[in-house]
Structure 1
Amino acid sequence: MPERPYNLGQLVINTGSLSYLDNCLRQFMLNPTRRDMLVGFLNPHVYNYVERDSYVRSFIQACDLVCLDGVGITLAFRYLFAQTPPRVVATALFDRALAWPEPRVNAVLIGGTPTQAQLAADNINSRKGSWHIVAAYHGFMKSDEYRAILAQHADIDAALVGAGTPKSEQILLNARDVCQRALCWHIGGGTLAVYAGHKARAPAWVSKLGIEWMHRFVHEPHYRSRIYPGAIEFAGHLFKNRFFPNNEVQR
């Protein structure tokens, strides 16, 4: 399925360009005999969790497709592992999917506060496109509660989750088991907040330059801890996996 796999240490990432990923998702949804598809994204923050959380590690390793969302990740591939995978902003991929003329996609949305979840669902439904959010749930319940919720929607076409890492990954691993024909997609808490109207999009030129992290640093105070000490932790994991291969991420 991927244009080609990329390796970040022992971590194998199936990815591709924005157009390629969008086409893969749409072809999956058009397939009447489809099975589940697991889609996530990887940025420095998520990669730190890959190194220290078994659920996140299992999720990324199980993903059929992964968005490389973050200039830090693409620079790591380029300068430490001599690969040049495309950078794809997770919200941009979701934008593309919502613009599909077909097929009809009935989805469950999970994440954010109760208000954010409902606003995001209402805004998506107001587009009157091919996607319809049939139910929206906030991101502050326990894991077993989400599994029970997903069981009520076992025949759903898509489970869209933006409840933060590592909770989103835990929910989606359950979704893959329970919703066996669904696109199980980690759209990200930021994407959900954008569609709820609670987060401003970065200007297009900022995104093109790969410096959305600077925009977020200025406008989102809670994000700043990802820069320090998060960036230092990220660099430590990368150098360990590049120069001490015996300590690489284990399957």
Structure 2
Amino acid sequence: MERLTLLGLPLDPVDMEEALRRIGGFLEEARTHQVVTLNPEIAVRAQEDEALRRAVLEAELVTPDGVGILWAVRRLHGMHLPERVTGVDLTLALFRRFPGLRVYLLGGRPGVAERAAGEAERLGAKVVGFHHGYFQEEAPVVETIQNLAPDLLLVGMGERQEAFIHRHKAHLGARVAMGVGGTLDVLAGEAKRPPLWAQRLGLEWLLRVGLDPKRWRRAPRLLRFAYLVLKEGR
């Protein structure tokens, strides 16, 4: 299916199976492909953050992450996408689909990536390295990743992750690089996913915002996303 445009950003209308198929193709090519899981917060930030905007515009795959994105596609394009393709779900699906996938984990507080590595190995991945996300000098980290040349680089560095991947894309040496938000925390057991019923209804974001005061500052971005979509649809 052809790419859609959402608030000036590209979106690939893929389901999980199609996303896995495309990434499988990326894994056969000797260059780095960036995967962005587009959620409403990223879409809003990209309206003012040029580095983030360029990262999304030039990503090889942009998946619909969040019920807000599904709603916006219905509103603006009249299309009903079948499901969300989130960072954590896509990560777990990749481990299942490609056993032995060589993975590097980057992000989280010191110790988180290390614990996440153990879970990733249990799920079938081969972790070739890991590093926490609290670093100032990017060059040594990039050089290490380049030397290890993983199949998949998972970057969980919050608002920095997409721009970091895009900035160093030519030198990462990974076949696929994907920003995964709090996925490393989930793998490490630092954070638990909401109940399955909430995941199926697409209400993970609501529970996270409601239960974690640190996330309350993100709520205005969700409201702005809705405003921008309604404005564009008029």
TM-score, L = length of structure 1:
0.83
Q: Give, in whole Å, the separation in 2 of the partners of 1:63 and 1:174.
A: 12
Spell out, residue by residue over 1:178-233, the C-alpha distance to the aligned partner (whole angstroms, 9 max, x if none): 02452111122x21111010111122221111111222134322222222x22232
The answer to whether the aligner puts 1:186 opposite 2:182 as a matched pair is: no
| Paired residues, number | 231
CA contact (8 A) 1:35 1:182 kept: yes
* 2:11 corresponding residue in structure 1: 13
CA contact (8 A) 2:128 2:150 kept: no
The answer for unaligned runs of 5 or more in structure 1 is 244-251
* 1:28 corresponding residue in structure 2: 26
Code of the residue aligned with 1:194 in structure 2: it is V
TM superposition shift of 1:97: 0.6
CA contact (8 A) 1:40 1:185 kept: yes
TM superposition shift of 1:240: 4.6
Q: Give, in whole Å, the separation in 2 of the partners of 1:11 and 1:92.
A: 22
Which residues of 2 match residues 152-171 of structure 1 at below 5 A? 152-154=144-146, 155-165=149-159, 167-171=160-164
**Pair 204,4 (structure 1): closer, same or farther in 2 beyond 3 Å:** farther
* 2:67 corresponding residue in structure 1: 71
TM-score, L = length of structure 2:
0.89
* 1:249 corresponding residue in structure 2: none
TM superposition shift of 1:50: 0.8
* 1:246 corresponding residue in structure 2: none
The answer to whether the aligner puts 1:98 opposite 2:99 as a matched pair is: no
Which residues of 2 match residues 94-133 of structure 1 at below 5 A? 94-102=91-99, 104-127=100-123, 129=124, 131-133=125-127
The answer to whether the aligner puts 1:57 opposite 2:48 as a matched pair is: no
CA contact (8 A) 1:15 1:21 kept: no
Moved more, 217-226 or 193-202: 217-226
* 2:229 corresponding residue in structure 1: 238
TM superposition shift of 1:61: 0.7
Large movers: runs of 4+ above 3 Å: 239-243
CA contact (8 A) 1:45 1:230 kept: yes
TM superposition shift of 1:95: 0.9
Which residues of 2 match residues 38-57 of structure 1 at below 5 A? 38-57=34-53
* 2:166 corresponding residue in structure 1: 173
Code of the residue aligned with 1:77 in structure 2: it is V
**Pair 171,206 (structure 1): closer, same or farther in 2 beyond 3 Å:** same
Percentage of pairs with the same residue: 27
